[in-house]
Amino acid sequence: MSELNIAVIGLPGKWSTEVLADAVHVKTGRRTVVDMADVCLDLDTRQVRVGDINLSEFDAVIVKKISETYSPSTLDRLEILRILEAQGVQVFSGAENILRLINRLSCTVTLRNHDIPMPPTTITESIDEAVDAVKAYGETVFKPLYSTKARGMCVIKDNDNDAVLREEIEHFKAEHQVMYIQKKLSLPGKDLGMVFLGGEYLGTYARVAQSDSWNTTINSGGKYEAYTPSDEIIELATRAQEPFNMDFTTVDVAESEIGPIVFEVSAFGGFRGAKEGIGIDTAKRYVDYVLEKLEATA
C-alpha cells in the first residue's frame, strides 16, 4: 500500500487538513495537500493540475474541505473532481454526493423526502410569505443556502411591528434571494455531532454553549464534550445520513421540545469535535478506510 499516491484536498495550514495529510503520510510515505483555488483543469487533455502535480495520475483524493466558505462557486470546484472520477481516480467522498450537501436546501429536501424530522421550515422568495412564516413561528432563524458554522444566519422574531419585521426580512433578502426560514426551537444549550465512517456510526460529541449565544457553534464560543445518545437518536442519525452515501460525515442533531430533530448532514464532517469531544482519531480512521477501499478495488 506504500506505493499509493493519495492527495488531500483542503485548506493548507488548517488543522483538519494537516492532520489528515499527516495520517496519509504515515501510511503511504507521501504527503500532498491541494487547495482547489490553485487547481487548473485542461479539458482538451483532461488533466487536473496544481503546478507540476497532475492529480489525474493519483490513485485517490480525500476531500477534507473544498473552500473556506460555501458558495455556488464551491459547486464548480466539485465539478472538476468529477473529471478525476471519470479517469478512475477515487474521490472520498464522491463529488456528486458532496454536491447534494453543499446547498442547504438540497440537503433539507432530501432529508424531508426521507421523513427525517426537522424544525418547521419555510422556503420562499416572497417577502409577504416570509412575514407570514415569522408570525406563524414566533421566532425564526433565517439561514443562507450556502454557509457553515452559522455564518450569515440571523434570528428574526415577531415583534408586533410589521414595518420593523418587514425591514429585517428585506435586509436579509438583499443578500439572499431564496429565503430559508426555520422555526427557532427551544434547545437544551447543546446540539450533537454524530460521526459516521462509511455509514458506520462511530460516536457522538456535543457542542455545548458557553454564553448566551443562540447557537452552539465553536465560532460562537461553544465547547466540545462527550455525549452518549439514546438508541432512538442513533437510529435517527443513521437514517439521516444513509441517502447521501458519504464516506465520512457528521449528522447535526438536537433534542428539542418536539423530540429529536436533524439540522443537517455535513458535506465534510468535523475532525476536531470527534478528537476533542470523544477522543476518536478520525483522520487515522478515515485513511485506513480509504486504503481498504483502494485495496478492494485494486
Q: How many CA atoms are closer than 13 Å to the CA of 262, on its beta-carbon side?
A: 27
Instruction: Kindly tell me if the per-residue pLDDT of 100 is higher than 70.
Output: yes
Angle in degrees, 0-180, between the axes of helices 15-28 and 282-297, rounded to the nearest 10: 50
Contacts of residue 163, defined as CB under 8 A and 6 or more positions apart, other chains included, come to none
Angle in degrees, 0-180, between the axes of helices 271-278 and 282-297, rounded to the nearest 10: 120
Mean pLDDT for the stretch of residues 107-117:
97
Q: How confident is the model at residue 212 (pLDDT cuts 50, 70, 90)?
A: low
pTM of the predicted model as reported, rounded to 2 decimal places: 0.91
Dist. CA 239–CA 230, nearest whole Å: 14
SS3 for 23?
helix
Instruction: Locate 36 and state its grid cell.
Output: 482547489
Cβ atoms of 203 and 278 within 8 Å: the answer is yes
SS3 for 181?
strand
Q: How confident is the model at residue 215 (pLDDT cuts 50, 70, 90)?
A: low
Dist. CA 257–CA 207, nearest whole Å: 18
Q: What is the pLDDT of residue 96?
A: 94
Q: How confident is the model at residue 225 (pLDDT cuts 50, 70, 90)?
A: very high
- pLDDT over 70, % of the chain: 95
How many angstroms from the chain centroid is the CA of residue 43? 29
Instruction: Kindly tell me if the per-residue pLDDT of 60 is higher than 80.
Output: yes
Instruction: Kindly tell me if the per-residue pLDDT of 211 is higher than 70.
Output: no
Report all structural domains of the chain as residue ranges with CATH numbers, in order of start.
6-101+284-297 (3.40.50.20), 121-183 (3.30.1490.20), 187-280 (3.30.470.20)
The per-residue pLDDT of the chain, averaged, comes to: 92
Encode pLDDT of 1-11 as tens digits: 458 999 999 99
SS3 for 37?
helix
Q: What is the pLDDT of residue 270?
A: 80
